[in-house]
Amino acid sequence: MGERKLLMIPGPTNVDPAVLRELSKPTPAHTDPLFIESFKEALENLKHVFMTKRQVFAIAGSGTLALEVGVANIVEPGERILNVVTGYFGDYFVRISKAHGAVCKVLEVPWGKCAEPNQVKEALKEDDYKAVTITHVDTSTGVVNPIGEIGAVVKENSEAFYIVDAVCSLGGMEVRVDDWKIDACVSGSQKCMGLPPGLALLSISDRVLNFLEKRKTPVGMWYGDIKNWLPIMMDPSKYFATPPVNMIYALSESLKAILAEGLEQRFRRHHIIAEAFRAAIEALNIRLVADTKCRADTITAAYYPEKIEDAPFRDEMRKHGIVVASTIGLIRSKGFRVGHMGNVGQNDILSTIGAIETTLANLGCKFSMGTGLGAAQDRLVAL
Ligand SMILES: Cc1ncc(COP(=O)(O)O)c(C=O)c1O
């Protein structure tokens, strides 16, 4: 198979050659008028994907930087924050909050389940929180949280800023920043946005921008201080720190492709492919990590059947040209995770299911070959 591998991990995901070509273009000056136009256009298009009229940001860094920028700018040392944790990445917010001196109240939800709006409502009664953090899709479990409903609860029951991690959903599932009353929506480039890793993407509400004018203490990170970036995002001809010019070109290209496909159509494609994959896995009698009512359309985590171990499974998958990830955190190596987001198409998902069947058969599982593929094909006709 040589180097030809199909990347089916939950990020990075497969990048379209048209986007990759932008990375190999001669690197322009960040002051080049054509580059500045491309940056402006990318930011305008990014607003559509965040479904917001507010200010968006594209900064060199990974998703984790976006999480940190969101928390560090909003919370001041000693202030209280409610961290809703439904998996491994929910805990990132706890660690970041503590690193910036916040006092954390953690609302821990068992892995595989989503947070209920009522749980958040109850938690909000206990204290006055400066902010509430939550992960839209936790990549460790494949659970999707009801961000819109929880956003309404946060606004109705508190003054808290609402910070949402959309690293594993932006561009693949609906993220309605304005409708869902999200104050800081934070994401990255290497998942549903169809780009390589390297960009932290954010949408920041006017309420946050107003608050930044009256913050009592300096933001605990200079590179991540929103006030340093705001003039550049409003006018990319200005300078604060050199933008990753080729990545901005790539962002501009991928956003054009996303909007040309159409957001509704894109979400539908993700949904049908996710349904097909879940149907295949369940037809093979493999247990999914996420509860039925909260399964994300971008990633699926599943437990290994009895006697199947992580390393042999993934090694065998690799021999069939497919790269999948293992489960992490509390359920480390107990299962595998498949990312079906970004540029994923039906050929990719069918190849993955086919490889899963062959792998399981080679590792001694007994089932009727083609069971998963048939179940998936039944769903994929809707595409
Ligand atoms: C939901 C979620 N949040 C945050 C992160 C961290 O992003 P990055 O690895 O780009 O720093 C990830 C990475 O997989 C993620 O899936």
Q: Note the pLDDT of residue 2.
A: 65
CA 200 to ligand 1: nearest atom? 10
For 41, phi then psi, to 5°, come to -65, -40
**Predicted pLDDT at 4:** 80
Q: What pLDDT does residue 316 have? A: 97
Considering the chain, what percentage of its residues have pLDDT values greater than 90?
Answer: 99
- Per-residue model confidence as pLDDT tens digits over 41-54: 999 999 999 999 99
Residue 372 φ then ψ, to 5°:
-70, -45
113-152 pLDDT, tens digit each: 999 999 999 999 999 999 999 999 999 999 999 999 999 9
pLDDT single digits (tens) 185-215: 999 999 999 999 999 999 999 999 999 999 9
Query: Do 336 and 328 touch, CB atoms closer than 8 A?
Result: no
- What is the best residue among 168, 175, 300 to mutate for testing ligand 1's pocket, by most ligand atoms within 8 Å of CB? 168
Question: 167 in ligand 1 pocket by Cβ < 6 Å?
Answer: yes
Question: What is the C-alpha separation between 383 and 379, in angstroms, rounded?
Answer: 8
Residue 89 C-alpha to ligand 1 middle, in angstroms?
7
- Residue 143's nearest CA partner among 170, 173, 169, 113 is 113
Sign of CA dihedral 360, 364, 366, 369: positive
Torsion sign over Cα 51, 57, 59, 62 = negative
Residue that the structure tokens 């498949």 belong to: 338
Average pLDDT over residues 290-308: 97
**Token reading at 79:** 């202030």
Is there an atom of ligand 1 within 6 Å of 89 CB? yes
From 62, 140, 167, give the residue whose CB has the most ligand 1 atoms within 8 Å, as the site to mutate: 167
Question: Does pTM top 0.95 for this prediction?
Answer: yes
pLDDT tens per residue across span 52-98? 999 999 999 999 999 999 999 999 999 999 999 999 999 999 999 99
* Nearest by Cα to 289 from 39, 109, 112: 112
Whether a cis peptide bond, with omega within 30° of 0, leads into 197 is no
166 lines ligand 1 (CB under 6 A): no
Q: Cα separation of 315 and 80, whole Å?
A: 45
Q: Is the pLDDT of residue 3 over 80?
A: no
Report the separation in Å between the CA atom of 362 and the middle of ligand 1, taken as the mean of its atom positions: 33
State the first-to-last Cα distance of the chain, in angstroms, to the nearest integer: 29
Cα–Cα distances in angstroms (integers) from residue 160 to residues 105, 337, 352, in the given order: 13, 34, 43
Give Cα 321 distance to the centre of its chain.
25
Cβ(62) – ligand 1 distance below 6 Å? yes
| 205 CA distance to ligand 1 middle (Å) | 22
Q: In the beta sheet, which residues pair with residue 299?
A: 339
Distance 20 CA to ligand 1 centre (A): 21
**Is ligand 1 within 6 A of the CB of residue 63?**
yes
| Average pLDDT estimate for 317-345 | 97
Pocket lining: 198 vs ligand 1, CB cutoff 6 Å: no
CB 133 within 8 Å of CB 163: yes
Please state the separation of Cα 41 from the chain's center in Å: 22
Could you give the count of Cα atoms lying within 13 Å of 373 in the half-sphere of its Cβ?
Answer: 14
Mutate to test the pocket of ligand 1, among 7, 9, 64 (most ligand atoms within 8 A of CB): 64
CA of residue 247 to ligand 1 center, whole Å: 18
Ligand 1 centroid distance, CA of 115 (Å): 19
Pocket flag, ligand 1, residue 135 (CB < 6 Å): yes
State the distance from the centre of ligand 1 to the C-alpha of 62, rounded, in angstroms: 8
Answer yes or no: is the C-beta of 329 below 6 A from any ligand 1 atom.
no
Residue 275 predicted with pLDDT over 70: yes
Predicted confidence (pLDDT) per residue in 281-291, tens digit? 999 999 999 99
Confidence of residue 1 (pLDDT cuts 50, 70, 90): low
Q: What is the pLDDT of residues 357-372, one digit of tens each?
A: 999 999 999 999 999 9
**63 CA distance to ligand 1 middle (Å):** 5
**Is 61 near ligand 1, meaning CB less than 6 Å away?**
no
Whether pLDDT at 253 is above 90: yes
Q: With contact defined as beta carbons under 8 Å apart, do 1 and 159 qualify?
A: no
60-69 CB burial, b ≥16 within 10 A, e <16:
bbbbbbbbbb
